[in-house]
Amino acid sequence: MNALNINNSEGSRDLDIAWLIQQLRRASTPTDTVSLIQTLSARKTTVENTEEIIAAFIEILSHHHPSVPAAAVEGLVKLAPHSVEPLIAAFRASADHGLQAYIVQALAKIGDGRALDLLLEVVGVEVANHCQGNVRRVAARGLGRIGSTSGDLEMIKRAIEKLTWALLKTEDWALRYAATVSLQEIATVEAIASLQQALTQEQDNTVQTRIKTALEEVTS
Partner 1 sequence: MTATSPPELILSKEAAIAALKGDDNQIRYYAAWWLGKHQVEEAWAVLCEALEDDRYRTPQGGYPLRRQAARALGQLKNTQAVPALLEALNCEDLQLREAAIQALAAIGDSRAEKPLLELLGSEGEQPLEALIEALGTLQVWSAQKQIEGFLEHNSERVQCAAARYLYIFTKEPQYIERIIKNLTHPNMYLRWAAAFDLGAIGHIEAAEAIINAKVANSLKLLNLKRILESVLSSDRSDEVEKQKTTRLLLGAIDDLLIQL
Q: Please, which residue, 149 or 209, has the CB nearer to partner 1? A: 209
Residues 6+ apart with CB under 8 A from 94: 100, 103
Query: Contact between 209 and partner 1 (CB under 8 A)?
Result: yes
The H or E element that residue 7 is part of is none
Query: Contact between 37 and partner 1 (CB under 8 A)?
Result: no
Site for partner 1 in 103-122 (CB under 8 A): 105, 108-109
| Closest CB 101 distance from partner 1, rounded Å | 5
Q: Please, which residue, 21 or 135, has the CB nearer to partner 1? A: 135
Q: Please, which residue, 31 or 206, has the CB nearer to partner 1? A: 206
Q: How far apart (Å, rounded) are the C-alpha atoms in residues 114 and 98? A: 22
Q: Please, which residue, 30 or 133, has the CB nearer to partner 1? A: 133
Query: Contact between 205 and partner 1 (CB under 8 A)?
Result: yes
Query: Contact between 91 and partner 1 (CB under 8 A)?
Result: no
Q: What is the 3-state secondary structure (H, E, C) of 130-180?
A: CCCHHHHHHHHHHHHHHHHHCCCHHHHHHHHHHHHHHHHHCCCHHHHHHHH
Site for partner 1 in 56-85 (CB under 8 A): none
Residues 6+ apart with CB under 8 A from 159: 116, 120, 143, 144, 146, 147, 150, 182, 186
Candidate segments 29-37, 85-93, 114-122, 170-178, binder of partner 1 by CB under 8 A: 170-178
Q: Any idea what DSSP says for residue 17?
A: H
| Cβ atoms of residues 175 and 133 within 8 Å | yes
Site for partner 1 in 129-168 (CB under 8 A): 133-135, 137-138, 140-142
| Closest CB 119 distance from partner 1, rounded Å | 12
Q: How far apart (Å, rounded) are the C-alpha atoms in residues 219 and 145? A: 19
| Residues within the interface to partner 1 (CB under 8 A) | 101-102, 105, 108-109, 133-135, 137-138, 140-142, 173-174, 177-178, 181, 205-206, 209-210, 213
